[in-house]
Structure 1
Amino acid sequence: MTDAWLVIPLFNEASVIAEVLEGARARFPHVVCVDDASTDDSARIAAAAGAVVVRHPFNLGQGAALQTGIRYVLEATDATYLVTFDADGQHRVEDAEAMVTRARDEDLAVVFGSRFLDSRTEPGFLRKIVLKTAVWITNQQTGLRLSDAHNGLRVVRRDAAETLHLKQDRMAHATEIVLQLGRSGLPWAEHPVHVLYTDYSRAKGQSLINSVNILIDTILK
């Protein structure tokens, strides 16, 4: 996957980022981690694992980190695709690879990962209700019909990436991405992915309360 770059927002993931990057770089040799002012060794470990590391001097939020990573790929590389990918180990590299392959084969500008197109992902009953509600609100706001609007695994072709100018720093950036990509008029599809809800990822940011925060940010967007 030499024509695709992984864009990984990074904030205090020192305990897992080396393992995540080891797996990711076996398929995607080009990775940029945007360190959002981590207070641990995340940036140093990511650099040692072979990623390009761009650092924010202050914590700006995941949306800002994604925008920085997108800008880096567009301005510093000739990549055809970029893949937004989480640092906590919940995304599978094989899903990202399949999504890039599908984008190439079907001439798609965007492939959105969806945990709700099959039954492999088990987010839990209450979390699923909250996320499904956020999906419904996002679809009303954007006019698209997605099954999973807040999945951080996405493949974006260069021409589509050039239309992204994210202003939302918190979780509402996911709705903003869908809105801006939808307005581009470029072809898109959803692809089934398996999100891994580990004890670590739940503790870091995939708890029920975080899903509620996603819903609140989506409503306030």
Structure 2
Amino acid sequence: MSKRHSAKYKIDRRLGENLWGRPKSPVNKREYGPGQHGQRRKGKLSDFGLQLRAKQKLKGYYGDLSEKQFYKIYEEAVRMRGDTSEALIGLLESRLDAVVYRAKFVPTPFAARQFVNHGHVNVNGRRVTVPSFRCKPGDVIEVRQKSKEMTLVLESVGLAERDVPEYIEADHSKLVAKYVRVPGLGDVPYAVRMEPNLVVEFYSR
């Protein structure tokens, strides 16, 4: 098992939830955390504990972003008009790696980051290798011609475990997607309950 996969499954085990709704998640078999103390009975979480857990879930979901990266996105959300928690979700979903994942070109957010990094994606006809690149409504994201026959891509497109959300139009025959609009929390098909309002509370302390 690759380091990336083991890290992904460790996040699931640590949080006790199948974050991405994957059939192979170890949480489907063992709901307790990893390590020798994983089976200890969990006490009731404090308000701070609930907020921290909400942050870990959201940060982990998008490929386990670094604290610096995640806080930078939060700061940007604070500066935007309207609900900060909704803005936070909109900014996270506008990342190029998130759009590539949502379009089902790859099976996981971890694979999406690597896929973009390795130069397999064009945005509006230009090659982009930065996973955090901000997509705007109307942007066209396409798997590069030489990458369209990759096993990873062909298998992911055929996965029945998740659907492409309404804010993305995807043509899997051409491996092209259009980012239609910035979504709100209610639009995003999370496999578990996300609470960005608790993340805002965490950073507002």
Q: TM-score, normalised by structure 1?
A: 0.28
More strand by share: 1
Structure with max Cα Rg: 2
